[in-house]
Structure formats: C-alpha cells, structure tokens
Amino acid sequence: MRAMCVRWKGDQVMNTNEKIRRDYSAITPQISRYAELCTGRGRIDPQLYAEYQVNRGLRDLNGNGVLTGLTEISEIVSKKIVDGKETPCRGKLYYRGYDIEQLVQGFLMDNRMGFEEIVYLLLFGALPGRAQLDEFIQTLVAHRSLPDSFIRDIIMKAPSSDMMNSLARSVLTLYSYDSRPDDTSIPNVLRQCLQLIATFPLLSVYSYHSYNYYIRNNRSFFIHDSDPGLSTAENILHMLRIDSKYTPLEARILDLALVLHAEHGGGNNSTFTTHVVSSSGTDTYSAIAAALGSLKGPKHGGANIKVCAMFNDIKQNVRDWEDETEVAEYLKKILHKEAFDRSGLIYGVGHAVYSISDPRATIFRAFVKSLSEEKGLTKEYKLYSLVETLAPQIISEERKIYKGVSANIDFYSGFVYSLLGIPLELYTPIFAIARIAGWSAHRLEEVAINGKIMRPAYKNIGEHKEYIPMEKR
C-alpha cells in the first residue's frame, strides 16, 4: 500500500496531492506583522558604534579601512607622506606591482587586446612573453565551452529577470558537472578558476538572450558559439549582437573596461567576500557564487546602473545641458534629496579610497570621448564632462567631508556600455566577467596560505532575560 504524505496548513492536515494555489511572492498580512516585529527590535542606535569603538563598514571615521589581510595581487594608492603627514594624492592602481596606466599604455601601443594579458599577470604574478601569452590564450580558448546540454537544461529553463542571479545559479550548477568539485588543491582550484574565467562571457550573454526571449517576450532567440580567434571582449560583442558585427574601437574600449575592472584590492566587498568564504575551506563554485551575490548590490557592482538612471533624470529635467548654472542647480537638488531618487547621492562621484582622482576613470575618459564621437553622441558626453567638473565642487561646498571627491570608474562605465548598445541587464555581469580574474587570484592566494577561518567579532548589546514559561507569556 502506498503511504499517504500529509502536511500542515494552518490547523488543517492536508493531502500532498491537493493543489495549493498561492502567490509565491505575496507579502501576506502575517508576513507584514512579523516584519514589524523584526524592524521594531532590529534597530541599533548609531551612537553606540562610537561608544564601543566599532568601525562601521570596516572603516574608521577618517575613511581608512581596517586592516584585515595581506596580499601581493594589487595595491591602491590615494595618499602620500609629505613632511611626515598623510596627504591626498592622484590615485594610482597597481596590478602585481605594475602601474595600471603603464600596463594600458603598453598594449595600446602594440595595438593588441589587453584583458587576457592582465588575467595572466593577476594569476601568476608576472608579465607574459609573447609565447607564454599565446599559450595562455589557447588554454582559455580550450576551456571556453559549457557541458553538453547546459544551455538548454540550465540557462534556457527558468530564466531570471536578473542576470547576476542567473550567473550565480549557473556557477553553482557547474559544481554538479565537476568530478572533483571539492578538491581544494592549487592545481584543481586553478583549473576551476580558468574554466570560470573562460565561460563567464557565455553564461552572461546566453542568460540575457534567454531572459530577452522568455521574460521580455522579444520573439527572437539566437545563440552564437564563441569564436576561438577572438578575444574575450570581441566574443562578448560577437555573441551579443545578432549580426556579430562590431567596430575595432568598440572592441578596444570594451577590452579596456574589462582591464580596468579586473581587480581592485582585497578590501572591496566582493573580493573580501571571496577571501572570507574561501577561508572556510569551501569549494570554488560556492566562493565565486558568494562574490557574485556581493557584486550584484547597487552599492557595489550595480553602481553604474544608478549613474545611468541619474543622468536620464538630469536629461529629462534640465533644459539646456550646456548651461552650467542650470546643471549645477539640479545637482544641488539631487544632493539635497529634492530630486532623482532622493538619496542625496550624486552617483559616480566619490570613492571610499580615492579622493583627488580615480586612475581608472582618468584612463577611461579619453576613450569615452572618442566613442561618443563615433556614435554621434557628443552632446551626452559634454553633459557627463560638465557634471564631472561641477559635482565635486558642489559636494565640497554643501557637505562636510574628510577628503576630496572625484569621478570614479562607475561614472563613465555605464555610459560606455550604453554607447556600445549593451543592454542594462548586462552592465553588472560585464563587471563580473572582468572581476572573476581578480577573485580567482585572491582565492588562489587564500587557499595557498591555508590560514585561519575569518571570524571577526560582534558585540552583543542586548539585555539578558529570564525565561518565561509558556502559560505566563
């Protein structure tokens, strides 16, 4: 006799064969009531952080990050010592000790793509020779494929409205296709990282096509295989566009975007997440999925989307985009929480570390101008340039800040992606396609040192209470 399964629904026992019709995403009155209990007891007085000397966000009152680890992978420089005092300076970024500006200048002078070279440098700590680079590129090409039926069974089924969630799900699912998923030896972790670096463009672009067809109901669906003769940046454009066509400048700028987003120290949220999760001894797929969850946040990888939304708002509400006074007045409204999303933030201006300049934004700026000219959108570029000039002045006048502010990489990256015709849904995944290089280097570093599990302290400020029997509550 077949056993009958039962489950509770309220006070009623139900047969599992009975269909339960409900809105999976509904916030019921009960949930709302429970939420009030959460919010009522989950608020902590901000003054207590100072009282207990807790650095919120792992940064002190001067904006200096709390030192939590050591790395050889990259370095961010925003201050120098002058007469024995720390003084803000022009921002510098070093990959494995090499100035990012010199690295970019190097492959631009040779008229070649740079991202694959940067991946090699971050992983192995040295600049490759021509033969080494060619061999490494072929290694990536060899891993630039997905398991049989993966596109059909995983990507095309149950598509998500958010590509970062699709990407994370795909990464976790690849665990099931790996015969050695939990092997944390360096050779195996490196193999897993190389596979993820090579396949992230496929996972991202194919997820978008699935979303575009099934969720947006765009009745056109196509899948282009990656081309072994193309770079990572070229393949993204090749797979994304129905005609696979792109200009050399488009590919060059997308490659540059990948280079500039590939790594940014061990303290950014997603890379720190990679270190924290890796320190537990978990597998590569879990560590990278956790990093993806971090990067998805609008305070991190999603920041360029907010920049684009803010500029769309400016363009709708400012009559003359070249009128400094009118633009400045609207920026003040944004800062005073009177316009746009009323957060009081001018997105894309300011950085947790950089003050005088973000070297990535500095490098990007000239290429953005060239691309805007190619696309016939110089008016939009001039607006961006004007806001870049005005916003730091207005912020310094209106706010008491401990350091200067300047445009960061997010200020221009969203604009670049829009010029390239890249859909908004892929902005953050492109960040991930680049940053998987840095995450991989940091995971390998954490696995190699085999250090202690990261376990920072939290102080409880709640009161101790006596237990109350059920009949007396």
Residues 119/261, Cβ–Cβ less than 8 Å: no
Residue 468, helix vs strand vs coil: coil
Using CA atoms, how far residue 431 sits from 1, 40, 205, 259, in Å, is: 56, 37, 13, 10
> CA-to-CA distance for 469 and 464, rounded, in angstroms?
16
How many other β-carbons are positioned within 10 Å of the β-carbon of residue 448?
Answer: 10
Give the chain's end-to-end CA distance (angstroms, integer). Answer: 45
Of 255, 358, 410, 442, the active-site residue reads: 410
Q: Which residues are bridge partners to 14 per DSSP?
A: 7
> CA-to-CA distance for 132 and 145, rounded, in angstroms?
22
Rounded to the nearest 10°, the torsion over CA 150, 137, 358, 306 is -20
Q: Look up 351 and say whether it is catalytic.
A: yes
| Amino acid (one-letter) located at 394 | I
For tokens 């907010």, the residue is 306
Q: Look up 255 and say whether it is catalytic.
A: no
Of 264, 351, 358, 442, the active-site residue reads: 351
For tokens 């005092």, the residue is 85
> CA-to-CA distance for 156 and 308, rounded, in angstroms?
29
DSSP string across 156-195: SSS--SSHHHHHHHHHHHHGGG-SSTT--SHHHHHHHHHH
Structure tokens of 44? Answer: 């902590």
DSSP-derived letter for residue 21 is: -
At residue 53's C-alpha, the angle toward residues 456 and 399, to 5°, is: 110
How many other β-carbons are positioned within 10 Å of the β-carbon of residue 219?
Answer: 7
Active site members: 351, 410
